Chain A
Amino acid sequence: MSLTKAERTIIITMWGKISTQADSIGTEALERLFASYPQTKTYFPHFDLHPGSAQLRTHGSKVVAAVGDAVKSVDNIAGALSKLSELHAYILRVDPVNFKLLSHCLLVTVATRFPADFTAEAHAAWDKFLSVVSSVLTEKYR
């Protein structure tokens, strides 16, 4: 599965807006993930997961920064996220099902903040893009 030119354009254009709220979007997406899918908290026993916690904010920023890296190298996401892919495969070993859950929460967060930009076409492009990112992050699992 690869992104069409039109899809890449949508991603890059919207990222311009999204990146201005990157940190808070990342934090909110994680909050939504832990609220809707409590089982995802099992990967963070060492974190203070209360809304507003410094750790949540730091981690949320990290996650969205990585998404940003993928946007900036949208023609070579596998290359851009190669190290992260290894990290997830050998160290973190987050079950692949969870990438769909976080992707969904990222989309929900973006939808609440950019309702007009989040058209059906944009929704499709972002869903596909995050799906590609998820595939890259799990491609070294076995």
Chain B
Amino acid sequence: MVHLTADETALVTGLWAKVNVKEYGGEALGRLLVVYPWTQRFFEHFGDLSSASAVMHNPKVKAHGEKVLASFGDGLKHLDDLKGAFAELSALHCEKLHVDPQNFKLLGNMLVCVLSRHLGKEFSPQAQAAYEKVVAGVANALAHKYH
């Protein structure tokens, strides 16, 4: 469970309203694959990931990034029960996708960087702190059903 103050919740939801899920999702996933190239191990079927430019323009990366961020956005509606909200996805990532939960933390970092790039000063230290709590909560929730 994520413990956000009322101010933090307001910051999170207020800023989320400005997020272009399609654009930012693709960018976050793309940056994950560029900054931490070993994460490409999960996406060998995505085609050309041979350069930063190829990754960032790859249509499969963009589509999947959008999917992932949309799911994250849905999670924001359930901040009081992230484990419940992500239970099925957690089982999927463990049993079918075999993704090391460390990767959820890496993607969380990428999302924070993407938000800061687009929101600039509005992504204040307080806003960042609130989002760091949320991405950590989502990462934990996604790891919760691992066995």
Contacts and interface: CB of A to CB of B under 8 A. Distances in A.
Pair from one complex: yes
Contacts of B30: 120
Contacts of B129: 32, 35-36
Given A35-B126, A112-B120, A120 B112 contact: no
B136 to A, nearest CB: 10
Given A108-B116, A111-B117, A120 B125 contact: no
Contact of A115 (B112, B118, B126): B118
B55 A120 contact: yes
Interface residues of B, number: 23
A37 B55 CA distance: 31
Interface in A41-71: 51
Nearest to B123: A112
A107 B123 CA distance: 13
B125 A36 contact: yes
A138 B98 CA distance: 32
Nearest to B119: A112
Interface stretch (A15-23, A80-88, A121-129): A121-129
B52 A111 contact: no
Interface of A: 28, 31-32, 35-37, 51, 104-105, 107-109, 111-113, 115, 118-121, 123-124, 127
